[in-house]
Copies of this chain bind each other. A is one copy, B any other.
Amino acid sequence: MAKINDNYLKLPGSYLFSEIARRVAAYSASRPEAKLIRLGIGDVTQPLPPAVIAAMHDAVEEMSTAAGFHGYGPERGYAFLRDAIAANEYAARGADISADEIFISDGAKSDCGNIGDIFSLDNRVAVCDPVYPVYVDTNAMAGRAGDYDSSAGRWTKLVYMPCVAEHGFMPQLPAETVDLIYLCFPNNPTGAAATCTQLKMWVEYANETGAVILFDSAYEAYITDPDIPHSIFEIEGADTCAIEFRSFSKTAGFTGTRCAYTVVPKALVRDGTSLNALWNRRQGTKFNGAPYIIQRGAAAVYSPEGKAQVRQTIAYYLNNAKVIRQGLSDVGLTVFGGENAPYIWAKTPDNMPSWEFFDLLLQKANVVTTPGAGFGPSGEGYIRLTAFGDANATKQAIERIRASI
């Protein structure tokens, strides 16, 4: 008799965004005339950069001839893309990352989820609170999280690092020893960005204890402050303690086009074993590479035109962030983030519970947000808004919020 992985049965209810979708669908069904504006889920809205479009057309055309056809590519990705990433994302920032430390994939969500494959099930895992649910759920599914305590909203075996306003939403070093540490900066959901000094504390901790930092920098393209690092590998010593996840999703509008990469330095060794070799084995055995056409599109992000176009779209979204920040401040809300991140983290009025404020904004302003409590107990009392909308729709959403609170 086949037995299921019963860790799945411990997962509470539905995934945050499914619950939001359910509430939105129920509201829309009852008020079909309502024109909703979605500032909830972190999905982009602007078209792909023209340089990416042109490169993908060319690649599609190549696939139409025997001479230009590309079959199985390297599981870790084409050198043309890994080389471009190494040069533009790392060497250009003084981080010594080579192309064979970069693994191209179909998405940072896949990589953040699959990275657990190369680690033992008895590692102690630390996560921020609030947190992107994928880090938690994938560890729960593997059996590293223990049991879910629904009254606390926490898993018994995870170590939670509260990120609260009084510490600028930065996690503090955990009191107990941990083995795997998920960090995400610029942060989803709080929009907080970590300084070099702050990251240095984590790198030193990890190198001292042998922990591995799983660093998600999917939002680095939104950093505007020149002193904020874009990669953990800008911090000395990170190559012996960190893995970094990056994505073209938010950088170049690839949420539906799917391309990302993970950096596993060769100097990163645990139990006498190279994690780069382990990840290479994992990807070589359970993955067959990202599509050639898509990798050509991603490489075009690094052409001169591609770079200029990407900068323009990011400026567009960052302007939305400014509009949201300003508008919410004007109605008396306390806002965080949105300056080095596409996310705005707003305190609810009068300590209203976040799902209640979510429902209020949905029903009164017809604006979809994300309740902070969905990201963990320390997210209670906040909502997350995203800057990825259409500029006019974003302005209108803020007008409606002004009018309704």
Contacts and interface: CB of A to CB of B under 8 A. Distances in A.
Nearest to A46: B66
Interface stretch (A182-190, A267-275, A339-347): A267-275
Nearest to A247: B288
Interface string A133-160: 0100110010000000000000000000
Contact of A122 (B3, B64, B119, B121): B3
B72 A255 contact: yes
B53 A120 contact: no
Interface stretch (A205-213, A219-227, A228-236, A396-404): A205-213
A64 B48 contact: yes
A137 B43 contact: no
A66 B43 contact: no
Given A69-B48, A390-B66, A137 B285 contact: yes
A212 to B, nearest CB: 4
Contacts of A73: 256
Nearest to A109: B288
Contacts of A3: 119-120, 122-123, 179, 270-271
Contacts of A109: 286-288
A9 interface: yes
Interface in A271-291: 271, 273, 275, 278, 281-282, 284-291
A15 interface: yes
A31 to B, nearest CB: 24
Stoichiometry, copies per complex? 2
A43 B71 contact: yes
Contact of A9 (B6, B273, B291): B273
A68 B253 CA distance: 13
A285 B12 CA distance: 13
A5 B286 contact: no
Contacts of A364: none
A284 B15 CA distance: 8
Contacts of A285: 15, 113, 134, 137-138, 141
A87 to B, nearest CB: 24
Contacts of A46: 66, 69
B289 A258 contact: yes
A5 B284 contact: no
Contact of A2 (B48, B107, B123): B123
A273 B256 CA distance: 31
A8 interface: yes
20 contacts: A2-B210, A3-B120, A5-B119, A6-B271, A8-B278, A15-B284, A43-B71, A45-B69, A50-B64, A57-B60, A66-B390, A71-B253, A107-B287, A109-B286, A110-B287, A117-B141, A256-B292, A258-B288, A258-B290, A291-B294
Given A3-B122, A47-B66, A48-B63, 10 more contacts: A5-B117, A47-B64, A47-B69, A48-B64, A48-B69, A106-B258, A110-B286, A134-B286, A256-B291, A258-B289
